[in-house]
C-alpha cells in the first residue's frame, strides 16, 4: 500500500493561509500548525477567530459540540486530485442531513488547486474535546482505572449507537457517497439527495507515484478501479482487471505473468458463482474508524465528532469490520495491547445485548466469499510491492497463498 507521508503538502506560512478567501469581515487571529496530528494526507491547522465573528457561521446543530472560537483547516496533498475532497464533503453532508452521527461541518473548501495555496483544502468546525486515543492513553498512564472504566463505558455505548446508525441503511450498489443536486420544485421537495459514485480507497495508487514508479505513462484510471459497482462480484472483477493490466505492463511483474491464466480463472469463477458471492448486504463503512478519529469530551462524556471520512464507502457487510479498526488500533511499539482487545470484546457484547446487526468481526456467508477476498488481497499485495521495488517483502509467499485461495473458489 502507498505511504501517504512520502508526499506531504508543504508547510504553509501564516501569511499564505491568510490569503484563503473567507467571508467578508472574518479574519484569522492565530494560526497553529498541529504537527502531531495523525494525518498522512493533510497538513492540519487550528485557526482561531473572534467568537462574535465566527459564531454566525457555526451551524446551529453543531454549536453544542463545536468550539466557537476556532476552526480546523485541513490542507490536502496531491495524492488524489479532487476526488478525495469531494468524496469527504459529500459524505459529511449525507451524514449531517440523513443521520444522527456527530460529524464536523464543512464551512468553506476548495476541491481543486485553483486557489492561493495551490492545494485543495477545507475549513471544518472544531469539535470540543480530544481524540479518544489521547484520553485513553492518559488514563492508562496515570493508572486511573475508575475513570478509564467510566469513560470507555460511555464511549462504547455511543459507539453502538453510531455503528447502528451507520449501517441501518442498506444500499443497492458500492462506491463513495456523492451529492446529487435535484432541480428546485422536485416532487419530494428535497433539492439535495445522494447517489453512489466512484470508489476511493487508501489502497489505490497515488498520483505522485505515476511518475515515480510507472514513468509517467499511466493515468489514474489505468491503475485504480472506478465505479460505482452494482455488486460485490463486479467490484472485485474490476480490481482484478487492473491487477492483470499492471502485471502485463510493469517489468517488475514479469515474473508473475506465468500465473495470468490462473488469475483469469479466478475472474471466471467469480462470474460463475456471482449469486453466492453477492449474498450479502451493502452498508456505509467509515473504513478508518480508530480511536484517533473519534473526538470525545471527557467532561460531558460525549462523542463530539467522528472525523476523517475521505475513504468512507458503501461496502459489502463482511468488509466493513465496523469495530475492528476503532478498537484494535494501537500506535504503541509493542503492537496491539490486551486492553484494546478488551475494548473490542466489550463492544461486541454491547452490540449483541442490544440486538445490533453490526459486523464487529468479518462474517462471510460462504467459503467462496472468503476465498475470493483472500485471492484478491494477495494479488493486490503483489502488484503493490514489486513495482515499488519492495522486493524484500514476502511476495513469493503471497503468490502461493493467492493460488491456494483460487483453488478454493474455482472448485465445484
Grid coordinates belonging to 384? 503493490
Q: Can you tell me whether residue 135 is helix, strand or coil?
A: helix
Per-residue confidence (pLDDT) for residue 344, from 0 to 100: 76
Extents of the domains making up the chain: 4-128, 132-168+280-353, 229-279+365-412
Going by C-alpha positions, the residue among 136, 129, 126, 103 that lies closest to residue 49 is 126
Per-residue confidence (pLDDT) for residue 186, from 0 to 100: 43
**Bridge-partner residues for 315, per DSSP?**
283
Quick one: how far is CA 17 from the chain centroid? Answer: 26
Name the H helices within 2-82. 14-17, 51-54
In angstroms, the CA 275 to CA 266 distance is 15
Extended beta strands in 211-274, E state: none
Per-residue confidence (pLDDT) for residue 348, from 0 to 100: 79
**Residue 41 DSSP code:** T
Average of per-residue pLDDT across 211-233: 95
Residue 291 contacts residue 136 (beta carbons within 8 Å): yes
Neighbour count for residue 109 (Cβ, 10 Å) = 17
List of residues 6+ apart from 244 with CB closer than 8 A? 260, 263, 264
CATH architecture assignment, domain 132-168+280-353: Orthogonal Bundle (1.10)
Average of per-residue pLDDT across 204-210: 95
pLDDT digits (tens, 9 = 90+) for 359-368: 555 589 999 9
Q: Please say if the pLDDT value at position 334 is more than 60.
A: no
List of residues 6+ apart from 301 with CB closer than 8 A? 150, 151, 154
Does domain 4-128 correspond to CATH entry 3.40.50.170? Answer: no
- Calculate the alpha carbon distances from 208 to 4, 8, 78, 217, 388 in Å: 10, 10, 7, 12, 12
**Residue 324 DSSP code:** H
* Phi, then psi, of 89 in degrees rounded to 5: -60, -45
What does pTM read for this prediction?
Answer: 0.92
Answer with the residue of higher pLDDT: 284 or 168: 284
Q: Is the peptide bond before 228 cis (omega within 30 degrees of 0)?
A: yes
Average of per-residue pLDDT across 285-313: 94
* Phi, then psi, of 85 in degrees rounded to 5: -60, -45
In angstroms, the CA 170 to CA 173 distance is 9
- Give me the residue label for grid cell 447517489: 195
Grid coordinates belonging to 337? 495491547
**Bridge-partner residues for 75, per DSSP?**
43, 121
Residue 269 contacts residue 410 (beta carbons within 8 Å): yes
Average of per-residue pLDDT across 229-258: 98
In angstroms, the CA 348 to CA 358 distance is 9
In angstroms, the CA 204 to CA 225 distance is 8
Average pLDDT, whole number, for the chain?
A: 90
How many helices (H) and strands (E) in the chain?
Answer: 14, 12
Q: Please say if the pLDDT value at position 38 is more than 80.
A: no
Residue 306 contacts residue 102 (beta carbons within 8 Å): yes
Amino acid at each position: 500500500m502507498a505511504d501517504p507521508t512520502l508526499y506531504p503538502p508543504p508547510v504553509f506560512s501564516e501569511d499564505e493561509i491568510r490569503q484563503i478567501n473567507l467571508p467578508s469581515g472574518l479574519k484569522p487571529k492565530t494560526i497553529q500548525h498541529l504537527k502531531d496530528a495523525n494525518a498522512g494526507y493533510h497538513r492540519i491547522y487550528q485557526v482561531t477567530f473572534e467568537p462574535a465573528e465566527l459564531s454566525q457561521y457555526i451551524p446551529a446543530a453543531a454549536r453544542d459540540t463545536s468550539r466557537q472560537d476556532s476552526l480546523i483547516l485541513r490542507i490536502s496533498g496531491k495524492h488524489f486530485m479532487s476526488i478525495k475532497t469531494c468524496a469527504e464533503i459529500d459524505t459529511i453532508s449525507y451524514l449531517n442531513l440523513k443521520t444522527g452521527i456527530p460529524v464536523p461541518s464543512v464551512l468553506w473548501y476548495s476541491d481543486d488547486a485553483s486557489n492561493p495555496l495551490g492545494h485543495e483544502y477545507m475549513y471544518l468546525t472544531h469539535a470540543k474535546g480530544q481524540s479518544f486515543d489521547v484520553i485513553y492513553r492518559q488514563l492508562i498512564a496515570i493508572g486511573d482505572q475508575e475513570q478509564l472504566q467510566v469513560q470507555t463505558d460511555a464511549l462504547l455505548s455511543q459507539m453502538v449507537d453510531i455503528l447502528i446508525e451507520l449501517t441501518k441503511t442498506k444500499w443497492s450498489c458500492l462506491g463513495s457517497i456523492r451529492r446529487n443536486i435535484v432541480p428546485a420544485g422536485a416532487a419530494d421537495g428535497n433539492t439535495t439527495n445522494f447517489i453512489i459514485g466512484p470508489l476511493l480507497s487508501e489502497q489505490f495508487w497515488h498520483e505522485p507515484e505515476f511518475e515515480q514508479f510507472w514513468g509517467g505513462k499511466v493515468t489514474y484510471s489505468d491503475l485504480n478501479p472506478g465505479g460505482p459497482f452494482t455488486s460485490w462480484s463486479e467490484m472485485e472483477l474490476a480490481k482484478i482487471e487492473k491487477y492483470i493490466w499492471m502485471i502485463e505492463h510493469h517489468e517488475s511483474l514479469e515474473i508473475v505473468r506465468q500465473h495470468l491464466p490462473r488469475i483469469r480463472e479466478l475472474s471466471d469463477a467469480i462470474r460463475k458463482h456471482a449469486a453466492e458471492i453477492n449474498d450479502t448486504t451493502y452498508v456505509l463503512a467509515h473504513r478508518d474508524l480508530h480511536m484517533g478519529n473519534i473526538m470525545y469530551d471527557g467532561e460531558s462524556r460525549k462523542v463530539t465528532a467522528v472525523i476523517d471520512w475521505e475513504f468512507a464507502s458503501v461496502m459489502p457487510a463482511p468488509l466493513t469490520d465496523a469495530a475492528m479498526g476503532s478498537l484494535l488500533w494501537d500506535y504503541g511499539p509493542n503492537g496491539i495491547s490486551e486492553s484494546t482487545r478488551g475494548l473490542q470484546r466489550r463492544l461486541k457484547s454491547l452490540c449483541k445485548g442490544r440486538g445490533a446487526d453490526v459486523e464487529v468481526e468479518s462474517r462471510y456467508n460462504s467459503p467462496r466469499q472468503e476465498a475470493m477476498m483472500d485471492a484478491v488481497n494477495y494479488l493486490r499485495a503483489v502488484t503493490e510491492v514489486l513495482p515499488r521495488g519492495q522486493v524484500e517483502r514476502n511476495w513469493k509467499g503471497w503468490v502461493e497463498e493467492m493460488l491456494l485461495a483460487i483453488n478454493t473458489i474455482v472448485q465445484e
